[in-house]
Structure 1
Amino acid sequence: MKKICIVTIMLCLSFASSSQTAIFNDLLQKHVSTDGIVDYKNFNGQKLKEYINYLEKTTPDTSWSENKQKAFWINAYNAYTIYLVLHAKRAEKIESIRDIHKKGKTAWKIPFAMVGGKTYTLDHIEHIMLRKNLFDPRIHVGVNCASVSCPKLSNIAFTETNIAGELERLMKEFINDSSKNNFTKESIQISPIFNWFEQDFTKNGAIITFLNSYLEKKITPKEKISYLKYNWNLNGK
């Protein structure tokens, strides 16, 4: 009987998690274009708060698969980033996430993101919960900094079953997006993300090796690389 109760509880928790992720997925489908442009003006803040309430009460379990934990934390990061931008836009006119400050702290260092009863900063979620604990260089196309030059925000919420394929798709689209990475016969200009987090992309070889694993047209190892200027304007219409 005890074993049956435990299984029942686990199934209920799994269903609750899936239904809440479905809420976030529905929000992304309605308010984010396939190009990653966010309709902040009409974004349903009430529905987003429902998902935030779920995050506040949910502690990721170590028994969860790595993919499930990764999906949870990336969704949390993106939901809280949207939440932060929405609240900032209501209070004042902002053109960039870098316009958001609280008590001298930037958007990434404000302790406001509550998960499982603990309060995190966006930086802590990205650099500790994800990059350190669940390392995957493709995390950089999963988390979204609400900016034009950021890899596009997916309009699909991540789940245990779709995250591997979605991150792979997003990385390929990002690297082959000429507005984010520019490859010509004359020069190679790539996103500064590959400079800021170079160690994440070079664990198995040079940066060009990583790029070539996604590029439709390969580049030679001798090519000289420069970095594009980052556009921090909001990724919204």
Structure 2
Amino acid sequence: MKRPFLFTLLILLASNCSAERINSESGNPPSHEIFDELLRSNVSGDQVDYRGFINSKEKFEKYLDLISENPPDRGKWSKKEQLTYWINAYNAFTIKLIIDNYPVESIQDLHPTIYIPLVRTVWHKKFFKIGEVEMNLDEIEHDILRKEFNEPRIHFAINCASFSCPPLRNEAFTADKIDKQLEEQAVTFVNDFGRNKISTNSADVSKIFSWFSKDFTKDGSLIQFLNKYSKVKLNEDAKIEYLDYDWSLNDKK
């Protein structure tokens, strides 16, 4: 989600930038095997079996603890290892947010109902730690993934627990496969007619392409970016419009 400039400035002043305060000497990256097993068991298509995660909560909490206690060592870990860690962390803690409040109709139902300084939305709630630093999902997305990695495909990999989001992948991301996985996510999402309707002369696309337009147009136009992945190629002068976003929970029915 986009942030007003003043709100961003206040967050940085108040938190001294949580992402920059993470100091790790954790050694090797943690294994994502537990998360991989849970995703394979509880994700099918674009639906997530949150009850399944609840039934396996003890196992899931072990993975969350592993992530929390082993933050990336920027001096030792490769960029792929760091990217893999942060994508999995975002998705795992989003699932935690949902199952801790389940049942819920939409992640947006978890927005603050009373005034809390600097907590404007559910994505600004600090409900987990990376190392010893309290963090929120917004910081992972905007201050780390978007800031530290020149990788627009991350928007097809992180999942906001909603039906209009790119579907949650039913396997964990791993450093040895991250490029292939991100490419598959991009191709699948762009060609998903339920989320992007592309024809030669026009396209109705996800609002993700509007919210994060700067990420998708660093090396050209949005049409050029879409044509890298779309099976139907857009003309250069094609008309682009944006679809309404469905924030209903991507729950298994």
With normalisation by structure 1, the TM-score equals 0.88
User: Percent identity, aligned pairs only?
Assistant: 43
Unaligned runs of 5+ in 2: 1-24
Q: Answer with 154-163 or 93-102: which moved more.
A: 93-102
The equivalent of 2:94 in structure 1 is: 81
Match of 2:60, SS? helix
- Aligned pairs for 1:80-119 (under 5 A) are 80-89=93-102, 93-102=103-112, 103-104=114-115, 105=119, 106-119=121-134
Q: Aligned residue for 1:163?
A: 178
> Distance between the aligned counterparts of 2:244 and 2:59, measured in 1?
35
Conservation of the 8 A alpha-carbon contact between 2:223 and 2:234? yes
Match of 1:41 among 41, 48, 51: 51
Is the 1:113–1:122 Cα contact (8 Å) retained in structure 2?
A: no
Paired with 2:40 and 2:177, the residues of 1 have a C-alpha distance of 15
Of the candidates 198, 208, 230, which is equivalent to residue 215 of structure 1? 230
Q: Which residue of 2 aligns with 1:22?
A: 33
State the 1:13 CA deviation.
5.0
Instruction: Assess if the C-alpha contact under 8 Å between 2:200 and 2:232 holds in 1.
Output: no
Structure 1 residue 55 displacement after superposition: 1.5
Pairwise CA distance, 1:214: 0.5
What is residue 3 of structure 1 aligned with on the other side?
none
User: In the TM superposition, what is the alpha-carbon distance from 1:67 to its structure 2 partner?
Assistant: 0.7
Contact 1:141 1:151 in 2 (8 A): yes
8 Å contact from structure 2 (residues 216, 222) kept in 1 = yes
1:57 counterpart = 2:69: yes
Is 1:32 the counterpart of 2:43 in the alignment? yes
- 3-state SS in 2 of match to 1:123: helix
What displacement does 1:186 show? 6.6
For residues 129 and 150 of structure 2, what CA distance do their matches in structure 1 show?
Answer: 22
TM-aligned CA deviation for residue 193 of structure 1: 0.3
Task: State the match for 2:15 in structure 1.
Answer: none
Structure-2 residue corresponding to 1:6: none
Alignment coverage as a number of residue pairs: 220
SS where residue 88 of structure 1 aligns?
Answer: coil
What's the Cα RMSD here?
1.7
Cα 1:202–1:185 shift into 2, 3 Å = closer
Deviation for aligned residue 1:185: 5.6
Contact 2:200 2:234 in 1 (8 A): no
